[in-house]
Chain A
Amino acid sequence: MAEEESQFEEFDQIDFLRDRHVRFFQRTLQVLPERYASLETTRLTIIFFALSGLDVLDALDVIDRNVMIEWIYSLQVLPTEDQSNLSRCGFRGSSHIGIPYSTKGPGVLHPYDSGHVAMTYTGLCSLLILGDDLSRVNKQACLAGLRALQLEDGSFYAVPEGSENDIRFIYCAASICYMLDDWSGMDIQKAIEYIRGSLSYDNGFGQGAGRESHGGWTYCAIASLCLMGRLEEALSQRELDRIRRWCIMRQQTGFHGRPNKPVDTCYSFWVGATLELLDVFQYTNFEKNRSFILSTQDRLVGGFAKWPDSHPDPLHAYLGLCGLSLIGEPSLRKVHPALNITQRAFQHLQQLQQTWRDSTGSCSRQH
């Protein structure tokens, strides 16, 4: 450990501008200009990046938790009186459909209102980060909504109306089941088959069978298997060694997502976290990784961009911090590599789940 500390003294020449990043996320949580219109349906993921980013920075005290919690709950698609919309429940990305603001049930019947799997996932994470106890989440409705999204081949749609289907949404589904401590939301075996089918000849994972291997989809594959507790059941030791090799070859200075592509800050997390889950992140070059991430830091407005001299955005700002956290940047909280929230938020989840199990246990003891 002493050796590691002196290494940090040397590379502190590229300084990490903590306060700028705190302000970047604060501004993100307030108002964005119209040119960000394409983020409307995914605003809940943007909240997640900002909140989790502030958590990693140990700066959640700058926001009003209750305001955030209420707004997130207003995005829950709740069952209607007659429960006819159960297969559409979960969380919305935003209010773009025009449902009147409400944080309580019953749900409002609307021909086009439904949850989105990535929003349910980031909504639950955000509530946990804010210290909420998820007591207002209709868990059974979320799980019913989730079941409705899984296809025969094991992959998931994002929304019940249909959308593209691929490994990203398996990761969202696995995270939801993990957080709710209830795997009735998905057919694990089919999901594992789809994941295995996505393993490419070059030992990375693509978005589906036959597709080019990619750092983001490889993270989704490995993190999902870890959350399911099936990593070593689904993949042999030989396969795992080959996957380790594919991942570790992604480091150029920072990391890229595919062979012969330029490095990009976000892969310091996607690939870095995968390597951590596979126990070999320690064999990467921390110094070069750190230098690259910090070269994409925006010294004026804060945040990180995908490349140096580019505009920062919430996703790269958050994942840049997570990348730094993985290498042990001193002022940052540790991140749970599979669930992509801080260890602190993860411990809160563990305590919650213990409470749930205890209360179920005491119920069954009475009968």
Chain B
Amino acid sequence: MFFFYTVVLPPVLLDSTVNVKHLFIVLIGCILKVQPPKPLAKDRKEWADLEPVPQDDGPNPVVKIAYSEKFSDVYDYFRALLKNDERSDRAFALTAEAIELNAANYTVWHYRRVLLQALSKDLREEMRYITAIIEEQPKNYQVWHHRRMVVEWLNDPSEELEFIADILSQDAKNYHAWQHRQWVIQEYKLWDNELKFVENLLEDDVRNNSAWNQRHFVISHTTGFSDPAIVEREIQYCLSQIRKAPHNESAWNYLKGMLQDRGLSSPPGLLERVLELKETHCSPYLLAFLFDCYEDALENSNQKENVGEEERKDILRKALEICDLLANEKDTIRKEYWLFLGRSLENKSGSRGPSDKPPEPSDPASGQQEMS
């Protein structure tokens, strides 16, 4: 606006041929800060000592990206600095320009880190810088890696949980954000409030698979899953989430994942609870869980002598019924798979002991990939 009042306005006021429309256009231009473009590095005397280095793709470039003059200018000087391994403030400033043009260039980020250390730059300021960049480009690998390096140098994770929570509020499943969060929590032992954080996210969206994964991560690194009281609490939690939203693979995966190595049918009354839910809150995941329970029971019955032949046959019958239900009605997209599982189970249960390998599928057209 200074420019408008001191440079534009006086001659305009003196010129009788100027009309209001012209003035209006210039005024808007000044308000919008349409300034003369920043001069290219090659035209600035502070870069005069350096010979810019162009990119050289040879006589027949492939997948060539058509850069503007502005872009090439910044990067030609970046390449020159890199070649000399210059450690200076002008180099540091140029890395910010290069990042603005392409934040995925990992060499620029690496060079910036070299300069941060060589010039003893203010790392708190760098945290502010990287925070702003990640907010703009939260799915870029390099920016998250850079942040991790700065946090490590500062040895200060105090801003991290809040920052990541903010990024997750924009995209609750951002894989980079969750990865960074797990690293910070594990590295700096920040477990205390994480279960609460996970529960809040699951309140927002009970189908957030990343949040369910985080739940497992927190519990396995804190109380663990050996205590039966913890397991019962988690079973209750899963079943109540399933009642609210039955068609939720994440909840069922969590339940099964927690129990699969301890025996799916081992928690008392679980099978009954699931059978009850089947009547009112059925889903392909519930049925698959039931199938897995029956398969588990059949495998264990090989070891137990008090499980009679009749009981085994009954369990097998129920398992095969589930397969048919899934194949023909409840999960038809996986029809062939459920039929295959049914056949496999029948073949396995025909033998006296547990088999080592899954039986050959009855379809002779199955392909076997050979790596040799």
Which A residues are closer than 8 A to B by beta carbons?
1, 28-34, 36-43, 46-47, 50, 64, 67-68, 70-71, 74, 94-101, 110-112, 158-159, 161-164, 200-203, 206-208, 210-214, 226-227, 229, 237, 241-242, 245-246, 248-249, 251-253, 258-261, 276-277, 279-285, 288, 337-338
Contact = CB atoms under 8 A, between A and B. Distances in A.
A97 to B, nearest CB: 6
A251 B333 contact: yes
Interface string B233-277: 000000000000000111001101110100000000000000000
A110 B139 CA distance: 30
Given A41-B107, A101-B58, A163-B106, A96 B75 contact: yes
23 contacts: A28-B63, A37-B65, A46-B63, A64-B60, A71-B60, A95-B56, A97-B79, A98-B54, A98-B55, A99-B56, A101-B57, A207-B179, A208-B179, A212-B210, A226-B369, A237-B356, A251-B333, A251-B334, A260-B248, A276-B369, A279-B369, A280-B340, A282-B336
Contacts of A158: 106
Given A32-B63, A94-B57, A200-B257, 9 more contacts: A71-B58, A99-B56, A100-B56, A101-B58, A161-B110, A201-B254, A210-B182, A210-B217, A245-B288
B34 interface: no
Interface in B256-303: 256-258, 260, 288
A259 B334 contact: no
B371 A227 contact: yes
Interface stretch (B18-26, B96-104, B158-166, B190-198): B96-104
Contact of B213 (A50, A112, A212, A337): A212
Main SS of the interface on chain A? loop
A31 B64 contact: yes
B311 interface: no
B79 A98 contact: yes
B330 interface: no
A186 to B, nearest CB: 17
Contact of B249 (A32, A64, A208, A260): A260
B336 A283 contact: yes
Contacts of B337: 248, 280, 283-284
A71 B63 CA distance: 10
Contacts of A43: 62-63, 65
B60 A337 contact: no
B248 A29 contact: no
Nearest to A63: B62
Given A203-B257, A214-B175, A112 B82 contact: yes
Given A210-B217, A285-B333, A71 B65 contact: no
Contact of A237 (B56, B178, B357, B369): B357
Nearest to A33: B66
Interface in B325-372: 333-337, 340, 356-358, 361, 363, 365-369, 371
Contacts of A237: 356-358
A164 B254 CA distance: 28
Given A260-B209, A338-B371, A37 B253 contact: no
Nearest to B213: A212
Nearest to A280: B337
